[in-house]
Amino acid sequence: MLDNKIKETFPNESVIKHSDNYSVFAGTNLPSFIKDFLIKRYSNADGLLDKNGVLRFIAEHIPSKHNDFRSRLRTNHEEVTILARIIIETDLKNDKTLFSIPDLEIKSSEGRIPDHVLRRHHELKRDGELWGVVTLGYEPPNGKERGYVQLLDYKPFKPYKISFEYLKKARTKYSTLEWIDLLIRAMEYNPDAFESLSQKLMFLSRLLVFVEPRLNMIELAPKGTGKSYVFGQLSKYGWLISGGVVSRAKLFYDMQKKSMGIIRLYDFISMDEIQTIHFSDPDELKAALKTYLEQGYTNIMGVRVESMASVMLMGNIPLNKRNLPISEKYFSELPDIFKESALLDRFHGFIEGWYLPRINEDLKVKGYTLNVEYFSEILHELRTSPEYAVTVNDLLDIPAKADTRDTTAVKRLATAYLKLLFPNVTNASEVNKQDFKDFCLNPAMEKRRIIREQISLIDDEFTPNMPEIKIKN
């Protein structure tokens, strides 16, 4: 039944997923939103995939070490058009805008964007990562000037135009339980393989930072529960840091390059394998992070860095034979930089990832689901829709002496749940209060409660008690 309903309500935005179809991508490192785009483009109405068509497109337009794009550029002086991830970098010293294409092994020292192209495409004026269709040409060496690749044209990779009216109308065709299953399918997982509704909701909690600005969360889980996949494959609007080095310069502002950090460029920043990340300037970074998590901006040597990006911390946690944490102090698994109560209090919610299933073959989605690219655009657009926060504010009864950070956390979490589960709601009068309590308020309260409880275990100044936030009569 769900297959048919998805196909009927999202005829142009749905795609049928079979493992056999995705074998065509073997040997490639394409994110899910690109794979789904190609599957949709080369499938007929019955879901039959033209694999040869996909392979031709990959050969002709997707950069890899096996393509002859570099040779065609340099030797034949051809213009080459590809679909690729490009990274923009401003070179203030030499008054140039540079770009790199890692999958084509074009370094920023080898790629330039002419001023006339920048004037036509404002997206290229900000540093950071973009996905798009780019046309490249080659300028050979001229005297002392080295040869370089020029970006001649750019079209952002946005195959879908988002209509909220369309989405809201579609949502009314589904029960809440059906919509939850649709969302899980859109994340490329099989909802039938989950043990319970609470497990499904726990899994969907990973999407909260996708839809709500400045929502900061922590998830600790055993290995193999799919954290990296969700945050690294489902959206081009997020940045996944998995190991390596993180500095204040990388995250917020680089004083030497006079360029903004990645927090300005994305909807969310997720730090995976948090125990393996090296923080090069922990004291400076912690100070900047504390201010940012609280206020949405920080100052670096007189430069104000503002952003609406959410922050997600993810790490592993050892479990006992009952699959529960060995220690009641969850935050003991975090790096030292995060073991400060004042910093941890600025995180809004905690996901108990040990209740989620390990990824297995049965968990892979089968059948019709939303195209990942369409899904990621929906999540991105939901971030800037103000009516949901207004609705939550109108619904909640906040005690006069409630802690401000607690109320902020509960409101943002409940708003994020409302966006995900009830996107058709536009004001408080349209909300089923029991549904809102069960699916939005209660999960929000619980995720914030865990933060309070864990902080109280490491700092006696904090109590585990939550304010009694209720729904207005």
**Distance (Å, whole) CA 431 – CA 425:** 7
Give the burial string for 442-470 (b: 16+ CB within 10 Å, else e).
Answer: ebbbebbbbbbbbbebeeeebeeebbebe
Question: For residue 165, with 0-12 CB atoms within 10 Å meaning exposed, 13-18 middle and 19 or more buried, which class applies?
Answer: exposed
Look up residue 397 and give its two tokens: 């009864």
Cα 170 to the center of its chain, rounded Å? 24
Answer yes or no: are the C-beta atoms of 275 and 316 closer than 8 Å. yes
163 Cβ contact partners less than 8 Å away, ≥ 6 residues apart: none
Look up residue 11 and give its two tokens: 């005829």
pLDDT at 71: 85
Amino acid at 101: I
Look up residue 255 and give its two tokens: 């004083």
Q: Which residue has the tokens 């297995």?
A: 360
Answer yes or no: are the C-beta atoms of 458 and 339 closer than 8 Å. yes
SS3 134: strand
Query: How does pLDDT run across 314-349, given as a tens digit for each residue?
Result: 999 999 999 999 999 999 989 999 999 999 999 999
Look up residue 313 and give its two tokens: 């911390």
Amino acid at 279: F
Answer yes or no: are the C-beta atoms of 257 and 275 closer than 8 Å. no
Phi-psi domain of 292 (left: phi exceeds 0; alpha: psi -120 through 50; beta: other): alpha
Helix axes 176-186, 2-9, angle to 10 degrees: 80
Answer yes or no: are the C-beta atoms of 463 and 401 closer than 8 Å. no
Answer yes or no: are the C-beta atoms of 373 and 152 closer than 8 Å. no
Distances (CA, A) of 132 to 12, 39, 101, 239: 21, 18, 11, 17
Give the burial string for 240-250 (b: 16+ CB within 10 Å, else e).
Answer: bbbeeebbbbb
DSSP secondary structure letter of residue 108: G
**Distance (Å, whole) CA 356 – CA 224:** 10
Q: Note the helical H segments in 63-106.
A: 69-74
**Distance (Å, whole) CA 349 – CA 443:** 10
Q: Which fold has domain 197-363?
A: Rossmann fold (3.40.50)
Other C-beta atoms closer than 10 Å to the C-beta of 66 total 10
- Cα-based angle 120, 124, 127 (whole degrees, multiple of 5): 160
**Distance (Å, whole) CA 456 – CA 461:** 7
pTM of this structure: 0.88
**Distance (Å, whole) CA 186 – CA 199:** 16
Answer yes or no: are the C-beta atoms of 327 and 284 closer than 8 Å. no
**Distance (Å, whole) CA 92 – CA 86:** 19
N-to-C CA span, the chain: 37
Low-confidence ranges of the chain (pLDDT < 70): none
Cα 75 to the center of its chain, rounded Å? 39
Answer yes or no: are the C-beta atoms of 403 and 411 closer than 8 Å. no
Answer yes or no: are the C-beta atoms of 271 and 289 closer than 8 Å. no
Q: Domain residue spans in the chain?
A: 81-156, 197-363, 367-471
SS3 84: strand
Maximum separation of any 2 CA atoms in the chain, in Å: 78
Reference 271, options 235, 302, 238, 236; nearest CA is: 238
pLDDT at 104: 87
Look up residue 54 and give its two tokens: 């996909």
Reference 440, options 413, 467, 466; nearest CA is: 413
